[in-house]
Amino acid sequence: MESEEEPAMSQRSLVAADQYGLQRLKLMCEHRLSSLIDRNSVEDILHLAEKHRCAALKEACFDFIGSTETLVPARERLLQVRETEELRRIFGYEKFIEREILERSEHLKYDSFTLRVQIHVVKETPSVLVPPSDIQRHLGSLLMSMEGADVEFLVGGETFAAHRLVLAARSPIFNAELYGPMKEGTVTNTIEIDDMDAQVFEAMLHFIYPDSWPEMEQEDESAMTQHLLVAADRYCTQRLKLICEARLHDHIDAGSVSIILALADKHNCSGLKKECFNFLRSSTSPLVVMEAEECEYLTQSCPTVMEELNTIFLERNLEKAKISEEGIEDNAHLTIKD
């Protein structure tokens, strides 16, 4: 928004946030208004803070009024304040005592009286603490309750309810299937997915809603992550795909590198593919990997990868040959010296 419009818009947004119970938005508005307090706005902001129970914003207003830069004589300040019952209560007007009543009271003795003053020293100016976004928690709750769900998916014999708008917002493929030219399930609102495991689809839903990695057993993580990467690539959920790549980095070993390399090549995961090649280059016995059962699948499905692998193995053989030649030369020098 424009800077000149920010104070008024922040005030209106605070009122709306309080009306609809949007606590985080309300705190963000308080935080913004705390930095916009000046001589011209302090009265309106203080009135707003009192009406909508914004304790920190209210305290910020009082701090501004009492600061040395803005302090004015009490009598002058009171004359400048709007004469409303609410503001009178805010500034303590209702607790004032008239002179005649004071003179007749028992507190006045020998034309003098004693005042007891409590002083609170604040080291730091109170600020409005805005909590981190909780939209993940709300979307997670929506996934668990499925309130308002308007579409169903039949996957692996299991039915999953979901919300069209959530899926469409998170995946361009779901958007095309549910609202675009690929639209399905117009009559029964049920979409059948044949080539995916139910557990994988459920895990993908758990990511799509709260945008967090789904829980899974540690021993199943490598296989499940591979299936999730395929699903993420299919539905163009790029962040999930990258998370799967990052997690598969930790599962690369002699027994899995062929499968993960084929997966990375097929689904255009350049970073994961590079990690597989780095593993093969650093392996003391890369031929052991080539002799694994998965190598046959790799040869048939990824011929270009095999070309790169052959280059790696050729480099390793040349290195070994060079080392052997250097060793023979060193032995020859030793023999001549003797």
Tell me: do 94 and 153 sit in the same domain: no
Tell me: do 209 and 267 sit in the same domain: yes
Average confidence score pLDDT of the chain: 80
In the chain, the number of structural domains is 2
Tell me: do 164 and 295 sit in the same domain: yes
Kindly report, residue by residue over 219-258, the tens digit of the pLDDT: 889 999 999 999 999 999 999 999 999 999 999 988 888 8
Question: What is the Cα–Cα distance from 213 to 232, expressed in whole angstroms?
Answer: 12
Tell me: do 46 and 161 sit in the same domain: no
In a domain, 89, yes or no: yes
Tell me: do 176 and 275 sit in the same domain: yes
Q: Which of 188, 279, 285, 195 is nearest to 234 (CA)?
A: 195
In a domain, 35, yes or no: yes
In a domain, 246, yes or no: yes
Q: Per-residue confidence at 23, pLDDT binned at 50, 70, 90?
A: very high
Q: Of 37, 71, 104, at which residue does a domain stop? A: 104
In a domain, 330, yes or no: no
Question: What is the Cα–Cα distance from 168 to 235, expressed in whole angstroms?
Answer: 10
Q: Of 104, 135, 169, at which residue does a domain stop? A: 104
CATH of the domain at 238: 3.30.710.10
Tell me: do 85 and 151 sit in the same domain: no
pLDDT value of residue 325? 59
Q: What's the one-letter identity of residue 223?
A: A
Tell me: do 173 and 277 sit in the same domain: yes
Tell me: do 97 and 199 sit in the same domain: no
Tell me: do 212 and 316 sit in the same domain: yes
pTM for this one? 0.66
In a domain, 126, yes or no: no
Query: By mean pLDDT, which of 28-42, 63-77, 119-133 is the weakest?
Result: 63-77
Query: For helices 238-249 and 257-266, what crossing angle results, to 10°?
Result: 160
Which residues constitute the domain of residue 316?
A: 146-325
Tell me: do 182 and 68 sit in the same domain: no
Tell me: do 89 and 193 sit in the same domain: no
Tell me: do 182 and 315 sit in the same domain: yes
In a domain, 114, yes or no: no
In a domain, 242, yes or no: yes
In a domain, 117, yes or no: no
Kindly report, residue by residue over 100-149, the tens digit of the pLDDT: 887 788 777 777 878 777 776 766 655 677 888 888 899 999 999 989 99
pLDDT value of residue 9? 93
Question: What is the Cα–Cα distance from 145 to 211, expressed in whole angstroms?
Answer: 17
